């Protein structure tokens, strides 16, 4: 549900209510150390839980809107500073690659938003996510044909787990061109999007981040990228260079 629009002064009033009624309660005493909270509003030397403050300000139950990025964006737009809380997951974050900060915000979007009485059918939801992850049907079908039904990096030929990956991020239908695509096994697609796998645009060899230590992935490092025989269907050097530069600038 969309968060109701309120003024920044109303948000500040919500913080005052939190201080008076909630900060010392069993539920929120020491909330900053609770691993379920990843972010806080930093206001006048005090930290506040974003979703609770929005809930008080808008009179919306916390399970009716998303936390993480949507709540943080809402509060930043009203002039409030959002800080990341220190946790024990810093080591895990480093393993998530160069985009771990943004990934964490997206991951926390649904915190506290589960309502079993207002959910679409679980199976349909799961299948929808599979379709979405595989990519646009025609784009995927074209890549399967172009790469002969094999992952461009691992050589896996189990078509059911092969996905249409954009070399550079998806920016609309124009990005669904064969030269901006790679057919990748699902797990490798995830590593690609996280910036943990890339292709050297000069050597056309696979690069696997040192962060990834599993032998099955380390074995791919330095391997040649599978190239379609038709030159006009081969991955764009410019697209590979853009991805390479974006990933390597964090190394």
Number of domains in the chain: 2
pLDDT tens-digit series, residues 173-209: 566 789 999 999 999 999 998 899 999 999 999 999 9
Cα–Cα distances in Å, from 104 out to 38, 67, 71, 111, 228?
8, 11, 13, 12, 36
Choose among 70, 77, 25, 79: nearest CA to 51.
70
Are 200 and 244 a contacting pair, CB within 8 Å?
Answer: yes
d(CA 139, CA 173) in angstroms, rounded, equals 10
Same domain, 71 and 96: yes
Using pLDDT thresholds of 50, 70 and 90, give the confidence band for residue 1.
confident
Rounded to 5°, the CA angle 96-101-105 comes to 110
Question: What is the DSSP code (8-state) at residue 119?
Answer: -
Phi, psi values for residue 60, rounded to 5°:
-105, 130
Same domain, 140 and 96: no
Interval 207-220 mean pLDDT: 95
- The pair of three-digit structure tokens given for residue 167, joined into one six-digit string: 């070399």
Between 76 and 103, the more confident residue is: 76
pLDDT of residue 74 exceeding 80, the answer is yes
Question: What is the DSSP code (8-state) at residue 99?
Answer: T
Same domain, 106 and 139: no
Interval 217-229 mean pLDDT: 96
- The residue range of the domain holding 127 is 122-248
Alpha-carbon 7 to chain mean position? 29
> What pLDDT, on a 0 to 100 scale, did the predictor assign at position 168?
85
* Percent of the chain with pLDDT strictly greater than 90: 59
pLDDT tens-digit series, residues 107-118: 555 554 444 444
- Tokens 């049907």: give the residue: 137
Same domain, 218 and 234: yes
Same domain, 20 and 68: yes
d(CA 72, CA 49) in angstroms, rounded, equals 10
Q: Is residue 1 included in any domain, yes or no?
A: no
Are 108 and 39 a contacting pair, CB within 8 Å?
Answer: yes
Rounded to 5°, the CA angle 79-85-87 comes to 165
> What pLDDT, on a 0 to 100 scale, did the predictor assign at position 247?
86
Choose among 58, 71, 65: nearest CA to 105.
71
> What pLDDT, on a 0 to 100 scale, did the predictor assign at position 90?
46
Interval 164-170 mean pLDDT: 82
Same domain, 153 and 217: yes
Other beta carbons within 10 Å of 153 = 25
Final residue in a domain of this structure, among 51, 86, 118: 118
d(CA 53, CA 60) in angstroms, rounded, equals 10
d(CA 43, CA 75) in angstroms, rounded, equals 11
> What pLDDT, on a 0 to 100 scale, did the predictor assign at position 196?
93
Between 115 and 246, the more confident residue is: 246
pLDDT tens-digit series, residues 116-166: 444 445 455 555 555 555 557 888 899 999 999 999 999 999 999 999 999
Tell me the H-state helices in the chain. Answer: 8-17, 50-58, 69-76, 90-95, 100-107, 122-134, 137-146, 186-193, 215-218, 237-248
Q: Is residue 2 included in any domain, yes or no?
A: no
> What pLDDT, on a 0 to 100 scale, did the predictor assign at position 114?
46
pLDDT of residue 69 exceeding 90, the answer is no
> What pLDDT, on a 0 to 100 scale, did the predictor assign at position 53?
97
Choose among 210, 214, 150: nearest CA to 182.
150
Final residue in a domain of this structure, among 71, 97, 118: 118
């Amino acid at each position: 549900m969309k968060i109701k629009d309120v003024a920044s002064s109303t948000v500040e009033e919500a913080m005052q209510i939190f201080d008076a009624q909630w900060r010392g309660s069993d539920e929120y005493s020491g909330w900053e150390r609770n691993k379920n909270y990843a972010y806080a509003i930093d206001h006048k030397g005090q930290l506040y839980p974003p979703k609770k403050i929005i809930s008080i300000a808008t009179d919306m139950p916390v399970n009716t809107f998303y936390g993480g990025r949507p709540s943080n964006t809402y509060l930043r737009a009203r002039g409030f500073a959002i800080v990341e809380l220190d946790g024990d997951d810093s080591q895990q974050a480093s393993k998530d690659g160069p985009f771990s900060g943004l990934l964490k915000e997206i991951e926390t979007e649904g915190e506290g938003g589960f309502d079993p009485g207002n959910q679409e059918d679980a199976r349909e939801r799961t299948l929808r996510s599979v379709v979405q992850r595989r990519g646009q049907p025609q784009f995927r079908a074209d890549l399967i044909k172009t790469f002969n039904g094999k992952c461009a990096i691992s050589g896996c030929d189990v078509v059911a787990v092969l996905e249409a990956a954009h070399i550079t991020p998806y920016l609309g239908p124009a990005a669904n061109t064969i030269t901006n695509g790679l057919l990748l096994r699902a797990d490798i697609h995830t590593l690609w999007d996280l910036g943990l796998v890339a292709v050297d645009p000069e050597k056309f060899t696979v690069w696997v981040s040192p962060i990834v230590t599993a032998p099955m992935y380390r074995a791919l490092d330095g391997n040649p990228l599978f190239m379609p025989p038709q030159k006009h269907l081969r991955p764009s050097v410019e697209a590979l260079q853009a991805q390479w530069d974006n990933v390597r600038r964090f190394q």
